[in-house]
Every structure is written in structure tokens, then in C-alpha cells.
């Protein structure tokens, strides 16, 4: 949310343009998308009252609000002359020169201009927003008819308001459409204000992007895609433990699949994430055969099991890090036997093995596990370049891209003895991927112990939206909110060790941060984490236990490749000496029970 000064003195013009900043939430009503699946997800139309904000020097004001999907409701004070035409502009971007809403924004950044004619005796008006032509696409998702058409905007301008009827703070409401969302169920703060701002931005984006009750790709198309859905799902669960939008998205996309190869793999990934986060296998059980088909096993090469398929690698095309020497600029590219597709294949074979086991399909579980082992061996033989110590883009290629290395690192395909070299290469490439790729880039860095790179996660959230990479970009695409789930799962370190958080891992990776604290929502209750150097305070819900990892700021990256040492490091738990285990340089205590515990590894505390 952009900060602006409060209102300046109104200009005494006969006709003025006024501005507002939306602040309070005053009321809501729930409607439902009615589709022929096993569930429907309610969307809430929430009224946000406005606060008069400021006038610009040229009398063109701006209404500033958080990015949201919805419309405006206008209630001008009496007396209101009839037949006055108000020009109302809604937009996401300001013109840097004038400070007004940019009326010709680049790409797919949103701008709408509407007219409203006042009527005698009428005191409340709701903007009627016409649909954009591209939203008449049969693949685009509609809002419930009770809500009507909506649009995405941050700013509003109202021209030609007669002076006697100047709008006040209570005259304008934003109707914000989103699914049910518990704003207080998650929290995060740290010693890095930029990271704190990124968390707030991502959390708001996750909520605002649920306006259709299904995860879509943003305002430009309003079409669900599998990769978008997966990243949305992880970040939504990091902010609010309500799984229904993710579940509906899985069902929707199984009925309406899209085209990229790797997007197919994201369906078992979404189903597995739902199972691990909720402990409920129903979604996977009900859709098991459809999920199994998403593995594309029929494309496997007979000799070694590797998939024979081109892939999207990353999107847009310009953010593929010159994959395969950039010889192919089509939507899906080779080599036919390539690293990215097969890294995903290995990953989803393991996910489907979990699902098969949980649904009592043990024959399938063994099949998927066996194929995953075969892929692991073939992958590390066919794609690894021993001279450079990193992975090539595919069979027959000599090029090594970020993507060929970050995906296997994120998906646990890299043997321990190779991880340092691969992680060094990934780190050296920086943000050579899109905001989609950033999900896996950040996972690969945290999994390889490079949590010192958290600054990359802070800055990339906005940098990756630069229009030079994607001229048709939108500013309301929640797959760019991956830092929300990275913060929850890795910076705070809260992840399920057993489905439904029946056992919890709490393993903060603060990197250079001197303090992190937060609350992560789970189906068993909130998990609180408060870390300061050497001291970790956790609060664990009733009915579960946790494996707690206290970060050791003095460890080196190389300790991650050393074997587990089973001698008791010095540790205090609630002031009492206790036994831990040193693993990868950090102190691990298993089976920590419910309630609040303070774990202290500072040398002076345990002497």
C-alpha cells in the first residue's frame, strides 16, 4: 500500500476532482460460484470505507488503496443535482509526471474509465463495470452473477463533482471481492524492514487474488493454470489455513487442463500439498486416476525411464537463462530428453507414491518409488557434467542454465557430494528466472543452506515484474507471491513432518537476520516462532509434537555435507540442561511437546 499524505485544503472550484484512501472494513456478504464440481467456494463482497486523502497540484487527485478486485460504491451528500455526468477512473498505476492515474499503462496493467449520471433523489450509486472483451473467452472464470463484473485497481479519480456535493470520507466505498480469509491467523516480522514489507505485500496479494473462488493467472486472462495454482496454494496456506480454494482449483484444472508439460506435474503436487497440510486424503482419493495420468509415464524412454518431452522451462521465454543455448524460442522447447522436465518427473513420482500409499494402493506406491529410483540414477548419469560439476540442459546440449540446476536442487535430485558446486552455480546466476521460477530458486537455495540469500527473496518480488522481461505483464498475478510461503516454510521453518501436522518441523533459517518472529497457521492450530541469535522460542499446538532445529550462526555451509554427529551439544530448554543432536551444524531436539518452549544454545547460558 502506497503511503500518501492526508487531505490538503480543498480547492474552491465549481467542479472538482476528489480522491480517497480506503481504510476500514465495514461489512460483507458471501456469494458462491456455482460450478458442477464437488465443492463451491464462497466469495465475499466486503465494503471498505474511504478516507479523504489529498489533492495534487493540478487538482487531479488520486484515490489510493490496496490492490484489490471489486468496484466502487458512491454516496454523495445532498443536495445532488440531477443529470450530472461524473467521470470515474480506476487504475493500478500512476503517471510519474502528473501524479494522476496512468491512462495508457504498459502491458496489461489495469485502467478503466467509466461514466456515472446522477439522478434526482438518488443518494447511492454502484458503478456498473463492463466486461473486457478478453474476459468473454470461454476459458475465463466469471464472478457469481449476484456480484456482477469486477475490476482490479489501486487508485480512483472522480471528475466533475459539483462543489455543493463534494465527497466526504464516508461517500465512497470500495467493494472488495475475495474468499473468506482470516487476516489474524498468520504474522511475520524480522530485523529486515524490506523483508517485512515483502511479507505484507505477498499476504495481501494472496487474499486479493481469490476474487473468483479459484486461483487464476491475474486480470489479463482470468484463466486458471496449474503452476499458478500451486504457488497460490502454498502461499495461501502460509497465510491462512483454509484449503478450499486450492481444492477447488485442483478439481477445476483436472476438468480444464492447460498446455505446458510441467504444468501437468503441478496437479499431483497440489494434491500432495493439500494432503500434507490438512491430513485429509479425500481430494487425492476422489481424483486418483486423473492425477495418475498427469505423470505422463507413457512418455518414458524404455532404456532408462527418462521422459521424452519438450517443456516450457520458464515463462516468459526471455527468462529461461538461454536454455539449450537459446536455439528454440517456441512456447515449449527441447532438448527432447531434458533436465527440467525430468526433474519434475522425479519429484511427482515421489508425490504420487505418497498419495498411493495414503489411499492404500501399495502396488502403485511401489511402482512410483521404483521409477523414481530409476530416474535418480539416470538423471545423475545423463545430465551431470563431471568437468564443471553441474548439470547440462539436456541430452546433446553443452549449455548449463540456472533452471537445469535449481530444479534438481529443489527436488532433492543432487547427491550430497555435488550439492556445494551446484548451489554455488545457482547462487552465481542470481535472478535469471521469472517469478514462477523464483519459487524453485528460493527453495533450492534454502535446501542447500544458502539462507544468506534471503535478500534475493526480498528484492526479486518487485524487480521480477519489470516490463522489459514481459511486456504484457499484469500487476495482480499471485504466482509472484512465492516469498509468502518461502518465509513461512523456510525463514520461520514451519513444515509438516507428518500429514496434517501430526508432527511438525520447526527449523528457522534466518540467514543474516538477527531476529525473526511469526505465526504460521496449521490445521491443528497456530505455530509461533520467535528467534534471536542463539535463542529460539516456539509455541506448539495441543495434540502434536515438533522436531525443533535451533540455528547455529557459527556454522559454515560445508557442515551441511558432513555426517550427523550423535553427541550431545550444549542446550537449555526452559532453563534446564537437555540433550540435542548436532545435524548440519545446527542443534536438533526431537519430540518437543505442546505449549511454549525456549531453546537456548548460547555458550554462556549452558556453562
Tens of pLDDT, residue by residue over 473-482, are 666 666 778 8
Confidence at residue 477, expressed as pLDDT on a 0 to 100 scale: 64
- Position 162 pLDDT exceeds 70: no
Task: Tell which wins on pLDDT, 75 or 222.
Answer: 222
Percent of the residues in the chain that have a pLDDT greater than 70, as a whole number = 78
- Position 70 pLDDT exceeds 70: no
CA atoms of 502 and 361, how far apart (whole Å):
22
Between 184-188, 332-336, 389-393, the lowest mean confidence (pLDDT) is in 332-336
Task: Tell which wins on pLDDT, 13 or 71.
Answer: 71
- Position 40 pLDDT exceeds 90: no
Is there a contact between 340 and 306 (Cβ–Cβ < 8 Å)? no
What DSSP letter does each residue of 345-373 carry, written as one string? HHHHHHHHHHHHHHTT-HHHHHHHHHHHH
CA atoms of 209 and 29, how far apart (whole Å):
18
Confidence at residue 279, expressed as pLDDT on a 0 to 100 scale: 98
- Position 35 pLDDT exceeds 50: no
Average pLDDT, the chain: 83
- Assign 54 to helix, strand or coil: coil
Chain-centroid distance, C-alpha 29 = 26
Confidence at residue 55, expressed as pLDDT on a 0 to 100 scale: 42
Q: Enter the C-alpha cell of residue 145.
A: 452473477
Burial class from Cβ neighbours inside 10 Å (0-12, 13-18, 19+) for residue 471 reads: exposed
- Position 421 pLDDT exceeds 90: yes
Grid look-up 550423535 returns 566
Between 22-26, 29-33, 215-219, the lowest mean confidence (pLDDT) is in 22-26
Q: What confidence tier does 391 reach under pLDDT thresholds 50, 70, 90?
A: very high
Is there a contact between 243 and 229 (Cβ–Cβ < 8 Å)? no
Between 348-357, 426-435, 585-594, the lowest mean confidence (pLDDT) is in 426-435
Q: What confidence tier does 108 reach under pLDDT thresholds 50, 70, 90?
A: confident
- Assign 67 to helix, strand or coil: strand
Confidence at residue 566, expressed as pLDDT on a 0 to 100 scale: 45
Q: What is the pLDDT of residues 317-366, one digit of tens each?
A: 989 999 999 887 889 999 999 999 999 999 999 999 999 999 999 999 99
Task: Tell which wins on pLDDT, 82 or 311.
Answer: 311
**Domain 187-491: which CATH number of 1.50.10.10, 1.20.1250.20, 3.30.565.10, 3.50.50.60:** 1.50.10.10
Q: What is the pLDDT of residues 442-480, one digit of tens each?
A: 999 999 998 876 655 444 444 444 555 555 566 666 677
Task: Tell which wins on pLDDT, 343 or 29.
Answer: 343
Q: What is the mean pLDDT of residues 37-41?
A: 50
- The model's pTM: 0.87
Is there a contact between 102 and 132 (Cβ–Cβ < 8 Å)? no
Q: What is the pLDDT of residues 190-202, one digit of tens each?
A: 999 989 988 998 8
- Position 146 pLDDT exceeds 90: no
Q: What is the pLDDT of residues 284-327, one digit of tens each?
A: 999 999 999 999 999 999 999 999 999 999 998 989 999 999 88
- Highest mean pLDDT of the ranges 121-125, 304-308, 326-330, 571-575: 304-308
Is there a contact between 73 and 123 (Cβ–Cβ < 8 Å)? no
Confidence at residue 217, expressed as pLDDT on a 0 to 100 scale: 86
Q: What is the mean pLDDT of residues 585-592?
A: 94
What is the H or E stretch that residue 409 is in? helix 402-410
- Position 20 pLDDT exceeds 50: no
Q: What is the pLDDT of residues 230-273, one digit of tens each?
A: 999 999 999 999 999 999 999 999 999 999 999 999 999 999 99
Pinpoint the residues of the chain covered by CATH 1.50.10.10: 187-491
CA atoms of 512 and 456, how far apart (whole Å):
12
Beta-strand relationship, 187-190 and 172-179:
unpaired
Burial class from Cβ neighbours inside 10 Å (0-12, 13-18, 19+) for residue 542 reads: exposed
Confidence at residue 431, expressed as pLDDT on a 0 to 100 scale: 85
**Domain 499-606: which CATH number of 2.40.50.140, 2.60.120.10, 1.10.10.10, 2.60.420.10:** 2.60.420.10
Burial class from Cβ neighbours inside 10 Å (0-12, 13-18, 19+) for residue 129 reads: middle
Confidence at residue 157, expressed as pLDDT on a 0 to 100 scale: 80
Q: Enter the C-alpha cell of residue 40.
A: 463451491
Q: What is the dihedral sign for C-alpha 411, 416, 420, 421?
A: negative
Pinpoint the residues of the chain covered by CATH 2.60.420.10: 499-606
Q: What is the mean pLDDT of residues 580-597?
A: 93
Confidence at residue 283, expressed as pLDDT on a 0 to 100 scale: 97
Task: Tell which wins on pLDDT, 271 or 158.
Answer: 271
Amino acid at each position: 500500500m502506497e503511503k500518501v499524505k492526508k487531505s490538503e485544503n480543498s480547492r474552491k472550484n465549481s467542479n472538482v476532482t476528489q480522491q480517497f484512501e480506503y481504510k476500514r472494513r465495514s461489512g460483507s456478504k458471501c456469494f458462491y460460484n456455482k460450478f458442477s464440481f464437488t465443492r463451491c467456494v464462497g466469495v465475499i463482497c466486503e465494503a471498505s470505507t474511504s478516507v479523504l486523502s489529498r489533492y495534487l497540484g493540478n487538482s487531479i487527485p488520486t484515490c489510493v488503496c490496496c490492490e484489490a478486485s471489486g468496484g466502487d460504491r458512491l454516496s454523495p451528500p445532498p443536495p445532488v443535482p440531477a443529470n450530472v455526468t461524473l467521470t470515474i477512473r480506476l487504475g493500478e498505476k500512476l503517471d510519474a509526471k502528473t501524479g494522476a492515474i496512468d491512462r495508457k499503462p504498459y502491458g496489461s496493467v489495469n485502467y478503466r474509465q467509466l461514466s456515472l449520471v446522477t439522478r434526482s433523489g438518488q443518494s447511492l450509486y454502484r458503478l456498473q463495470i463492463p466486461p473486457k472483451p478478453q474476459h468473454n473467452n470461454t476459458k475465463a472464470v466469471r464472478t457469481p452473477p449476484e456480484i456482477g463484473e469486477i475490476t482490479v485497481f489501486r487508485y480512483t479519480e472522480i471528475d466533475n463533482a459539483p462543489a455543493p456535493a463534494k465527497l466526504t470520507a464516508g461517500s465512497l466505498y470500495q467493494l472488495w471481492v475475495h474468499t473468506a480469509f482470516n487476516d489474524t491467523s498468520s504474522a511475520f516480522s524480522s530485523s529486515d524492514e524490506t523483508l517485512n514489507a515483502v511479507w505484507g505485500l505477498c499476504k495481501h496479494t494472496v487474499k486479493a487474488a481469490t476474487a473468483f473462488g479459484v486461483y487464476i493467472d491475474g486480470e489479463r486472462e482470468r484463466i486458471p493454470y496449474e503452476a499458478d495454482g500451486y504457488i497460490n496454494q502454498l502461499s495461501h496456506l502460509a497465510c491462512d489455513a483454509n484449503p478450499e480454494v486450492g481444492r477447488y482449483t485442483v478439481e477445476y484444472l483436472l476438468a480444464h487442463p492447460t498446455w505446458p508439460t510441467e504444468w501437468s506435474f503441478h496437479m499431483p503436487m497440489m494434491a500432495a500439498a493439500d494432503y500434507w497440510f490438512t491430513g485429509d486424503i479425500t481430494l487425492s482419493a476422489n481424483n486418483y486416476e486423473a492425477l495418475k495420468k498427469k505423470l505422463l509415464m507413457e512418455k518414458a524412454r524404455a532404456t532408462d525411464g527418462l521422459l521424452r518431452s519438450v517443456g516450457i522451462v520458464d515463462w516468459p521465454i526471455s527468462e529461461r537463462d538461454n536454455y539449450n543455448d537459446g536455439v528454440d524460442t517456441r512456447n515449449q522447447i527441447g532438448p527432447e530428453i531434458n533436465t527440467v522436465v525430468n526433474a519434475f518427473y522425479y519429484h511427482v513420482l515421489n508425490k504420487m507414491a505418497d498419495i498411493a500409499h495414503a489411499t492404500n494402493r501399495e502396488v502403485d506406491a511401489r511402482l512410483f518409488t521404483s521409477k523414481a529410483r530409476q530416474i535418480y540414477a539416470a538423471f545423475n548419469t545423463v545430465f551431470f557434467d563431471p568437468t564443471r560439476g553441474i548439470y547440462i540442459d539436456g541430452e546433446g546440449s553443452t549449455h548449463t542454465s540456472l533452471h537445469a540446476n535449481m530444479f534438481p536442487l529443489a527436488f532433492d535430485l543432487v547427491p550430497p557430494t555435488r550439492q556445494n558446486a551446484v548451489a554455488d552455480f545457482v547462487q552465481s546466476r542470481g535472478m535469471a528466472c521469472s517469478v514462477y521460477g523464483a519459487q524453485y530458486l528460493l527453495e533450492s537455495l534454502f535446501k542447500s543452506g544458502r539462507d544468506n540469500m534471503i535478500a534475493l527473496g526480498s528484492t526479486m518480488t518487485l524487480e521480477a515484474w519489470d516490463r522489459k522481461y514481459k511486456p504484457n505483464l499484469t500487476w495482480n498475478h499471485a504466482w509472484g507471491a512465492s516469498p509468502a510461503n518461502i518465509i513461512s516454510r523456510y525463514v520461520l521453518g514451519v513444515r509438516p513432518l507428518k500429514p496434517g501436522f501430526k508432527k511438525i518441523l520447526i527449523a528457522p533459517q534466518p540467514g543474516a537476520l538477527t531476529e525473526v518472529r511469526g505465526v504460521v497457521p496449521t490445521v491443528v492450530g497456530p505455530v509461533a516462532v520467535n528467534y534471536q541469535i542463539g535463542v529460539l522460542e516456539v509455541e506448539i499446538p495441543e495434540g502434536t509434537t515438533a522436531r525443533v532445529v535451533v540455528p547455529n550462526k557459527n556454522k559454515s555451509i560445508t557442515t551441511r555435507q558432513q555426517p550427523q554427529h550423535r553427541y550431545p551439544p550444549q542446550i537449555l530448554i526452559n532453563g534446564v540442561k537437555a540433550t540435542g543432536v548436532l545435524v548440519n551444524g545446527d542443534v536438533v531436539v526431537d519430540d518437543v511437546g505442546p505449549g511454549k518452549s525456549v531453546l537456548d544454545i548460547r555458550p554462556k547460558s549452558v556453562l
